[in-house]
Structure 1
């Protein structure tokens, strides 16, 4: 009898291990979504008169909050032919900052489900699960099945995992991005001619992927003696890089033609920056946003602009060293490291750092594999606990409160 009792857990482990990875990922994903839903319910109960959402909002109210409202407005009203202006005559926030695929796909599905937000959340949920499956396939050859599954658990439970359950385009964008990285790692370039445009018209970050393709091509050229680089592969890399650049600038051209204003898209994006910076802007200047941000935040915290710039510089050096030298990061593979470097450089070039930076770092999720590499169970459980704590902190601040300038998701 004792032997029977002792062997039962072993049988359960064997049955669990015999399940297909996509089924095990599904179990973890559903469990993580249940936890996130509990966090949203708690945030709803804690939401008060000072909150952006008022007293006792529903979970659906939270799901359609913040930028989800812009995607909804895009779906029902389209894009303005005449750019809205502020009282001072500057371009105001408007739909041109939001790419069309997620908004209209949610509208199409929502027509069958009864509401736009229902369609949006279903897309986010499904895309989040499929992203986890793709990441598992990307990670397994590099770090092994066990670490890859733990990395999936971190990904679906992480600090920004609430994005899988709200009307934001991040889930869908990550699905296209991770598919693209998987295809690149497998040297299967054909489908990328479809995936790259899907990526580019879901969220504005395809220029980072263009930079990645350039760096990837250089890396392949440097290794051509040990890993032969055929002419066909060179053609694909060059053509896909050109496609990514074209798609990256296409939305600016479309906005310019539709509105008659050549600066329509960039002026729209800069409208959000004016929430933090006052005064007229000379227009978009690459890398200016992070310099302004370092000065703004450190002065706000009672320090000096110079200290902010020093910290920014040291942070850039530290991130570069991490991607180049850290053993666990190196194990994730050159494709993931080159993507991380490309995306971080892209953010430095185009973004003004504020509380949305946490959300904008989500495309770096392939680096979760490096966190999962250490095999100590205590380490992995601790990471999971910290990830869930971070998730609650984010939901509490952005949804239960959401009442000050640093509580914007």
Structure 2
């Protein structure tokens, strides 16, 4: 009987199988793709990597960020590179010695980050969920409908790796070690706000328990198996919260210093929503376009109720304070700051820790979800990434 491979090898083998399946779906979908703004019909692998926002990262690597924001005739800021974080083009630039082009090199960076994220998530959550459940969770995340985006030049892979690595270290009470990872995460994807919120929520819970505002028994019921922080650890967590907040502010400040406009970053972000400021109302407006004005608010209430049920589920809460706080904070972030479009499916990927609760479900349920995820990839790649339907779906 052959010895069982090391745990990391098992995780990477599973990751490779799922990633290869996504690549196969991408390549088969490319064969049916007509001419697009990025390539001619049936794009090659290298051409297929250029689609959608990947071009913004390539432009940043080639030209940097604009010192003058583009505006229309009315002075309204238009879409520009400041909306995209610098870590992916920066890391890709470190590989230019190889002589390869930006897109293949960026794909290599994203694939490496994707593999690292699978390993980190397993190391982080397997002790809570169990070894078998953790492997199922890896399969579910990397076979989910938008999993293909983890291997193209987008910031999702880097963001997932750095967020999970930072939270994993924080959960192990290694707050200073987590600080650079949290800072880098804020430069990989715009996740600084929910990261700060998650860590801040955890600190508030610990501080309230220490001061007697929240009984320890109540916290134990909310988060089974939670180990309360000592005073010194709470101070370390507060340092991490402040560091995360500083890292979150760093990019808007950089945009301000370079362009001379204090609102350079926020004005750029709102350019993708026709200049509207972020609030909860876009969810109502978008829901009205999907199901009609009179049913839109019911759809929003349904989404809120579904989110509350998921976040309050015993399986999610039993993962521990850090994963639970992250999922709560990230959901609130999407509700407040995101204008819901078809991109919402991709933007749900950072909720990957919740899959470790699903990984403990019955085998039939897990297998059904796995198949549903792969089938969902067929539609996402065809309808969204390849634009093979008349309706414009944004990845």
TM-score by length of 2: 0.91
The corresponding residue for 1:130 is 116
**CA separation of 1:216 and 1:404: change in aligned 2, threshold 3 A:** farther
Secondary structure of the 1:201 match is: helix
1:108 and 1:229 map into 2 onto residues whose CA distance is: 40
Q: CA deviation at 1:379?
A: 1.9
Gaps of 5+ in 2: 211-215, 218-226
Which of 370, 373, 395 does residue 387 from structure 1 map onto?
373
1:182 is aligned to 2:171? no
Q: Alpha-carbon deviation of 1:242?
A: 1.2
Shift of 1:119: 1.6
Equivalents in 1 of 2:291, 2:363: separation in Å? Answer: 41
Q: Offset at 1:230?
A: 2.4
Aligned counterparts of 1:387 and 1:167: Cα–Cα separation in 2: 21
Give, in whole Å, the separation in 2 of the partners of 1:351 and 1:61.
Answer: 29
| Paired position in structure 1 for 2:144 | 158
Within 1, Cα distance between the matches of 2:324 and 2:192? Answer: 17
1:68 corresponds to which of 22, 46, 54: 54
How far does residue 222 in structure 1 lie from its aligned partner after superposition? 4.5
Q: Does 1:331 align with 2:318?
A: yes
Inter-CA distance 402–211: structure 2 relative to 1 (3 Å threshold):
farther
Render the CA deviation track for 1:215-270: whole Å, top value 9, x for unaligned.
Answer: 11122235556845323212212111111111112211111111111111111111
- C-alpha contact (below 8 Å) 2:33/2:388 kept by paired residues: no
d(CA) in 1 for partners of 2:42 and 2:193?
41
- Aligned-partner Cα distance in 2 for 1:243–1:264: 22
Give the alignment partner of residue 332 of structure 2, picking from 337, 340, 345: 345
Partner of 2:286: 296
Q: 1:357 maps to which residue?
A: 344
Do 1:113 and 1:119's aligned partners in 2 also have CA atoms closer than 8 Å?
no
- Structure 1 residue 292: deviation in Å? 2.4
Q: Which residue of 2 aligns with 1:239?
A: 239
Cα offset, 1:61, TM superposition: 1.2
Greater CA deviation, 135-144 or 86-95? 86-95
Separation in 2, partners of 1:239, 1:404 = 50
For this pair of structures, how many residues does the alignment match?
381
Decide which of 296, 304, 321 is 1:316's aligned counterpart: 304
Look up the SS of the partner of 2:357 in the other structure.
helix
1:6-405 equivalent positions in 2, closer than 5 A: 11=1, 15=3, 18-49=4-35, 53-224=39-210, 227-274=227-274, 281=275, 284=277, 286-288=278-280, 291-298=281-288, 300-301=289-290, 303-304=292-293, 306-324=294-312, 326-374=313-361, 376-401=362-387
| Deviation string, structure 1 residues 24-50 (Cα, Å, up to 9, x no partner) | 112112211221121111111111247
SS at match of 1:167: coil
CA distance in 1, matches of 2:16, 2:248: 34
* Alignment check: 8 A CA contact 1:75 1:104 kept: yes
User: What CA deviation, in whole Å up to 9, does each residue of 1:148-167 have, x standing for no partner?
Assistant: 11111112222121122200
Distance 1:164 1:368 in 2: 16
Give ranges in structure 1 of 5+ residues lacking alignment. 1-10, 275-280
Distance 1:172 1:235, change over 3 A: same
8 Å Cα contact 1:52-1:402 kept in structure 2: no
After superposing on structure 2, the runs of 4+ consecutive aligned residues of structure 1 that deviate more than 6 Å are: none
- 1:73-103 per-position Cα deviation (integer Å, ceiling 9, x unaligned): 0111001011112344321111000111111
Q: Is the 8 A contact 2:121 2:353 kept in 1?
A: yes
Q: Which residue of 2 aligns with 1:3?
A: none
- In 2, Cα distance between the equivalents of 1:134 and 1:271? 35
RMSD: 2.0
Distance in structure 1 (CA, Å) of the matches to 2:99 and 2:384: 27
C-alpha change, 1:204 and 1:405, in structure 2 (3 Å) is: farther
Instruction: Supply the distance in 1 between the matched residues of 2:365 and 2:310 (Cα, whole angstroms).
Output: 19
Deviation for aligned residue 1:328: 2.2
- Per-residue deviation at 1:212? 0.7
Report the counterpart of residue 5 of structure 1 in structure 2: none
Checking the alignment, whether the CA contact within 8 Å between 2:110 and 2:157 is kept in structure 1 is yes
